[in-house]
Amino acid sequence: MSIIDRVEGRRVFGRDSACYHEARPGYPEKVFDILRQRCDLRAGSRTFEIGAGTGLSTRRLLELGASPLIAVEPDERLADFLIKTLGPSTANFNIRVAAFENVDLPVGSFDLGTSASAFHWLDETNSLSKIGRTLREGGWWAMWWNLFFDGSRTDEFQKATHILLKDLDRSPTWSIGDRSFALDRETRIANLLAVKAFGNIQFDSLSWTTVFDRARVQRLYSTFSAVSRLDTDQRQRLLDDLGEIADKEFGGVIELRITTPMYTAQCQRKIFD
């Protein structure tokens, strides 16, 4: 078992963009309430999004007034899917097909920066420094994840399927000792403080449930980085076994408990190289 390389991880989800978009649940509305009430997201908020993917967050940002919105997505397949499916709501929207490290964004120009279920694929310290330079003073940074395996509580479906997944490589969402990157609050806050650009740092943890049938839970698991990168036969065997567990032990109805940890921080002092 090893940690999946960040460069590979940035491209693994584009292998089946439509499946990813269909299978992954969206983010709870409370996330966007926090963006509005705490981070002042409103009509005309100049916003950038890191790792837009298929747009599970992008669409809601646009609906709430983010304008202009610059979405940064390194996988051209995901970027193409997003462009094709956004439809007429693409006014004041621009997508940059590149890694965030390589995108040229104007210094001190944005009111809000966000990343949904993607920031663990970046170099954290360098990216936070760049985000601090990109935001205007008083602007906000927000990052959040939907976690299906966070280790914080007993989940019956997770217990039943653990044997299928325990030897797979892991994404950077997991660190040594099975600590979740997103739930390692102490480290995330310390790293935000270390770049000397952020204050008013707050952490929220949202818990919720959603129900899947056999087919959708198989599609969901197929989008996990550790499963998606398997060869075709190995991946299909794993998904078939997972489906059997879903049917035999859960009657084909699986209630997944999801945790959405969220960090927000306000840019309080500009930093420059």
The span from the CA of 33 to the CA of 10, in Å, is: 28
Token pair 């097909």 is found at: 97
pLDDT, tens digit, for every residue of 260-270?
Answer: 999 999 999 65
**Does residue 167 lie in a domain region?**
no
Asked which of 31-40, 68-77, 103-112, 144-153 is least confident by mean pLDDT, the reply is 144-153
CATH number at residue 79: 3.40.50.150
Question: What is the C-alpha to C-alpha distance for residues 60 and 84, in angstroms, rounded to an integer?
Answer: 16
What pLDDT was estimated at residue 225? 86
Domain annotation covers residue 26: yes
Domain presence at residue 135: yes
Distance CA 197, CA 231 (A): 43
Residues 6+ apart with CB under 8 A from 84: none
Is residue 229 included in any domain, yes or no?
Answer: no
| pLDDT band at 176; cut points 50, 70, 90 | very low
Please classify residue 250 by burial: count the beta carbons closer than 10 Å to its beta carbon, then call 0-12 exposed, 13-18 middle and 19+ buried. Answer: middle
Does residue 230 fall inside a structural domain?
Answer: no
- Which residue is associated with the tokens 């109805």? 253
Mean pLDDT of 131-137: 96
- Residue-wise pLDDT for 210-235, tens only, equals 999 999 999 999 999 889 888 999 99
Establish if 1 belongs to a structural domain.
no
The pLDDT of residue 175 is above 60: no
- Give the total number of structural domains in the chain: 1
Q: How many residues does the chain have?
A: 273
Split at pLDDT 50, 70, 90, the class of 90 is low
Structural domain including 123 reads 6-147+178-208+258-267
Which pair of structure tokens corresponds to residue 86? 């956004």
Q: Identify whether 116 is part of a domain.
A: yes
In a domain? residue 84: yes
Average pLDDT over residues 149-174: 74
Confidence band for 168, pLDDT divided at 50, 70 and 90: confident
CA distance 181 to 159: 21
Stretch 114-120: mean pLDDT, rounded?
96
Q: What is the pLDDT of residue 77?
A: 94
> What count of Cα atoms within 13 Å lies in the side-chain half-sphere of residue 113?
30
